[in-house]
Amino acid sequence: AHKEDYHRLVVSPFAELVMQLAPGMLEIDDQLITEPKIDKTISRIHRDLRILANRSRPRYRDNCWLLFIRDKKLYNGLPAYFFEVTPGGFSYGMGYYQASTDSMRLMRELILSEDAAFLKARAAYEAQAQFTLVGQSYKRPKYPDAPEHLRPWLEKKSLSLVCQSTDLNLLFSDNLAGVLMDAFRQIAPVYHFFITVESRRQTLTGGLLP
């Protein structure tokens, strides 16, 4: 019943935001998908009813997000940049939706060996105060003797950098794309570290990173 409103008030503004961000995102990684379309960079409003858990939920989502990732088929395996709007505000950041066990194992190896890509990532993260390192932690610490500054990176099952906001003035301002792009550039070294992890994983498994 509100399809026209949905396209005018949600899809069109999201597509415009994707187009504004695309040049800067391609500077970070020229393999990112930047097409301003649903199922390319913009989420669908329909829930996937093939998933059993969704069948007892409303047919339509009450949130919308955009995603910059190399390959949508590897949504659960590759790091991505995102921006999401919900009824309570919005969030943005970068990381894994669900990192593989192999990715996290290799990441910990690079962290503990003080790999150059990780040192750049850590320096970029510690130089800012906008993003928080998030992810489900293990119930029992796996690295209780590791240096305190490394444990947030080592003790999680998956990793993302997230900023939460309720600043509606920013959300509906002409400055949103610029603010997001500045923030995304700031954490680009962390993204490149994650891509280093994925490149190594693909090499070890005999595959090729998209």
Q: What is the mean pLDDT of residues 134-150?
A: 93
The answer, yes or no, to whether residue 116 has pLDDT greater than 80, is: yes
The answer, yes or no, to whether residue 62 has pLDDT greater than 80, is: yes
Q: Which pLDDT score is estimated for 207?
A: 57
Q: Which pLDDT score is estimated for 57?
A: 79
Averaged pLDDT score across all residues of the chain: 92
As given in the structure block, the two tokens for residue 165 are 């906001």
As given in the structure block, the two tokens for residue 75 are 């949504």
Q: How far apart are CA 126 and CA 133, in angstroms?
A: 10
Q: How far apart are CA 177 and CA 181, in angstroms?
A: 6
Q: Which pLDDT score is estimated for 157?
A: 94
The answer, yes or no, to whether residue 209 has pLDDT greater than 60, is: no
Instruction: Provide the whole-model pTM.
Output: 0.92
Q: Which pLDDT score is estimated for 93?
A: 98
Q: Are 100 and 201 in contact (CB under 8 A)?
A: yes
Task: Evaluate the CA torsion angle 8, 10, 11, 12 in order and state its sign.
Answer: positive
Q: Which residue has the higher pLDDT, 57 or 118?
A: 118
The answer, yes or no, to whether residue 141 has pLDDT greater than 80, is: yes
Q: Which pLDDT score is estimated for 60?
A: 87
The answer, yes or no, to whether residue 16 has pLDDT greater than 70, is: yes
Q: What is the mean pLDDT of residues 152-156?
A: 95
Q: What is the mean pLDDT of residues 32-54?
A: 86
Q: Which pLDDT score is estimated for 134?
A: 96
The answer, yes or no, to whether residue 208 has pLDDT greater than 60, is: no
Q: What is the mean pLDDT of residues 11-24?
A: 98
